[in-house]
Amino acid sequence: MRYLGIDFGTKKVGLALSDEAGTMGFPHSVIVNTKELPAVLEEIIVKEKVDGVVIGESVDFSGQENLVAREARALGECLHSLTELPIFYETELLTTQEARRDLEGNRTDTGVVDAKAAALILTSYLSKHHGNT
């Protein structure tokens, strides 16, 4: 099974794709969040033969949802309506900060941080639910 991981933001959306076995996420792209976002994601889902979608669930340190989480859930509902694919949610706490670090732990800003964060979210979900990572 192939999965699409989404790091949802109000301005930018990071995307990641899993390998075909559905064991690990890899950065794909960063796209601008516009009203056309669901249609753009639907095109990617069809082109990449995606079987499921994992959306980062934005919560604060006490576990409470915020405005971004509500918008991400609305996107998930819209994608499910468009594609009939299963939509899953994975906590994204600190994934953007982790994505900004290089292998030595130094802070970087390479312009693909949101896609890296999406890959972390996706890999986290897959490791919990598919056990092969």
pLDDT tens, residue by residue, 80-103: 999 999 999 998 765 555 555 544
Rg, the chain, Cα only: 14
Q: Write out residues in the chain with pLDDT < 70, as ranges.
A: 60-63, 93-111, 131-133
What was the pLDDT predicted at 63? Answer: 67
What architecture does CATH give domain 3-129? 2-Layer Sandwich (3.30)
What was the pLDDT predicted at 60? Answer: 64
Could you give the CA distance from residue 102 to residue 61 in angstroms, rounded to a whole number? 24
What was the pLDDT predicted at 116? Answer: 86
Could you give the CA distance from residue 21 to residue 118 in angstroms, rounded to a whole number? 18
- Going by C-alpha positions, the residue among 75, 111, 109, 116 that lies closest to residue 95 is 116
Could you give the CA distance from residue 13 to residue 4 in angstroms, rounded to a whole number? 12
Domain boundaries, the chain: 3-129
